[in-house]
Amino acid sequence: ARRAGAVLRLNPEETRKHGLQPAPGLELDAELANDVDLCFALGGDGTILTALRTYAGSGVPVFAVNFGEIGFLATVEREHAQEGFRRAFAGEFEVLSLPGIALSGGSGGWLAINDVSMHRQPGNRVADLAYAVASDEVGRVRCDGLVIATPAGSTGYNLANGGPVMAWGVEGFVVSFIAPHSLTARALVVAPEDVLAVHNRSLDESVDVTIDGRPACVLPPGGQIAARFVDHQGSLAQIAGTTFYQR
């Protein structure tokens, strides 16, 4: 970073984690803000998703080095980190725009870059979930849960559910069930302009809602939550020539 003439800004948590002391080219104990040229995320997909949500809609690219297990969203692997940093500081990367899912309900609003999942609570009976587009209820299934995924997230939990893989660049999102107690439950790809409403039809059991794998809220019996496609949320740096199919 110093050789490139760049200033590294680190928030209080990162400053403490690495035991950093004041030095040229370092801005320590700094709160995260959008007035930066690039965000480095060193970790797995969870860390990368946190960075993408933090800078969602700002246009700040996230350059990710995989220190996790899969690293599907990573720009480079850890063994190529040094060359990756050189490319990053030289601006030798492309920026891929990723859509998100805006979620709204009675207790607030959230943004997911990968997926929204709804799970029955441990020890409770199976969930009774229905989903509708506008006034049309498309399906109602007793199941362990339901996943709403973006194209980027379609290769995660949705794929494990047997849902379709959506190539990056496809607009819209996919809905798939977790362990449905049904012979006819099928995944559904929703058009980008459609708003999807998920209803908890249970009379007694609440459902846990997670955003990109992290707890967000609880959907009570009789409650509902709405999901809509929003374009141009995450900005993911990638090395030229990298494709979705290569990943």
Query: Which are the contacts of 19, defined by CB distance < 8 A and separation ≥ 6?
Result: none
Contact of 114 with 49, CB cutoff 8 Å = yes
Indicate the DSSP class of residue 18.
T
Query: Measured in whole angstroms, how far is the alpha carbon of residue 78 from the centre of its chain?
Result: 21
Q: How many residues does the chain have?
A: 247
Q: Which of 29, 35, 37, 45 is catalytic?
A: 45
Distance CA 228, CA 215 (A): 19
Structure tokens at 110: 């959230």
Contacts of 122 (CB under 8 A, 6+ apart): none
In the chain, the amino acid numbered 57 is: G
45 is annotated as an active-site residue: yes
- Catalytic sites, residue numbers: 45
